[in-house]
Amino acid sequence: MAALTTTQSAPTPDAPQRAPRRLGFSQALGRWDVKVSPYLYVSPFFVLFALTGLFPLAYTAVVSVYDWNLLGGQGTYVGMQNYADVLGQETFWKSLVNTLSIFLLSAVPQIVIAITLAALLDQNIRNATFWRMGVLVPYVVAPIAVSLIFGRLFADQYGLINDILGTFGLDQIGWHRDRFASHVAVAAMVNYRWTGYNALIFLAAMQAVPRDLYEAATIDGAGPWRQFFSVTVPQIRSTVIFVVLTASIGGLQIFDEARLFDAGGLGGADRQWMTTVLYLYDVAWGNQRDLGRAAAVAWVLFVLILLIGFGNFLLSRRIASSATRTPRVRRSVTRRLLAEARAAGNADTTASTTTVRRDS
């Protein structure tokens, strides 16, 4: 943007030298066009990101070092006190454990089921579009509606699931009473909503896998399982990483489902299923009314999400790439063969070396 303003002011000082200036100006314009325009073209994203991403980020950091009441507004500067308060609250740590537990219970099955679903939808099935759109239906349903329906299913005493368990003579599960059971229930809502969506992303990636790879694999005698693990998974690697990351970010920010799981909306009397975002909300808009502390929670959560997101990125990159290691063995064999060939003084050597290098 700054470069653009200089564009207009630059020509004015040397007005008398008309001809060269014109030439220089149009040249400069052309040069700037090449240099500046690309940035202008991509700037809308960054401007928006600065406004809706960076600014809140920085402002939240400012709020987090003040005593800041929801209704009373900005108070005195308290430094790191809000962070100390938050980290000293047992509920914060409880919410963190809940969040991680719900995150694992939702992200892992979600990705496994989504990738399986996608593999099934990738087959030659009848009415393919119908099935493919079908998996997206839960995503379209509003989370509030999902929560209402699942609330009926997971009610402790008169819920559908417990009724069914009862008819089989099984013990009722305390979906709200028991901490782990409540996590399963909340994770079920999350999975219901996101599995189909992720399946479609996987499906899109799978459809972009060149079909001749499968043909070659079939000719080599690979069965469907072998094809899935040795062709499909490595080929959609970057998509897997993307989905794992978005699922991690989403999983650590679960709010609606947990908030609507009971009438109180605060994660149960013992905070059995209070997630960290729900805790943040309670600190700010609940009885503490403390935006300063809530901002501190937001920053702690932000750092945590970055760490976990980065960890998952490394992890999924390694898992997804392990399958592609097989050719390396073959390459070393090729290299040895080439070395032997070079030693033999064959005329073809130079040509084949270059091909190999381009490959590696």
* Residues between 266 and 295 with contacts to another protein, criterion CB under 8 A: 266, 268-270, 272, 277, 280-281, 284-291, 294-295
115 versus 274: smaller Cβ distance to another protein: 274
Nearest approach in angstroms of CB 307 to another protein is: 10
> Under rule CB under 8 A, which residues in 27-66 are in contact with another protein?
49, 52-57, 59-60, 63
Which of 214, 313, 319, 323 lies at the binding interface for another protein (CB under 8 A)?
313
**How far lies 194's CA from each of 6, 84, 111, 190, 280, in Å?**
49, 35, 9, 6, 23
> Under rule CB under 8 A, which residues in 241-260 are in contact with another protein?
241-242, 245-246, 249-250, 253
CA dist 54 and 60 (Å) reads 10
* # residues near another protein by CB under 8 A: 74
**Structure-block tokens of residue 196:** 């189909």
Q: Which three-class secondary structure string do you get for 173-233?
A: CCCCCCHHHHHHHHHHHHHHHHHHHHHHHHHHHHHCCCHHHHHHHHHCCCCHHHHHHHHHH
* Rg over CA atoms, the chain: 29
- Measure CA of the first residue to CA of the last residue in the chain; give whole Å: 41
Residue 332 touches another protein, criterion: CB under 8 A = no
Asked if 108 and 288 touch (Cβ cutoff 8 Å), the reply is no
Residue 310 touches another protein, criterion: CB under 8 A = yes
> Under rule CB under 8 A, which residues in 132-161 are in contact with another protein?
151-152, 155-159
Which of 83, 85, 115, 197 lies at the binding interface for another protein (CB under 8 A)?
85
Residue 229 touches another protein, criterion: CB under 8 A = no
Helix (H) and strand (E) counts in the chain? 19, 2
Nearest approach in angstroms of CB 276 to another protein is: 9
Which of 302, 323, 341, 342 lies at the binding interface for another protein (CB under 8 A)?
302
Which of 108, 184, 204, 305 lies at the binding interface for another protein (CB under 8 A)?
305
Host H or E run for residue 66:
strand 66-69
199 versus 260: smaller Cβ distance to another protein: 260
| Cβ count within 10 A of residue 241 | 19
> Under rule CB under 8 A, which residues in 160-189 are in contact with another protein?
174, 176-178
122 versus 290: smaller Cβ distance to another protein: 290
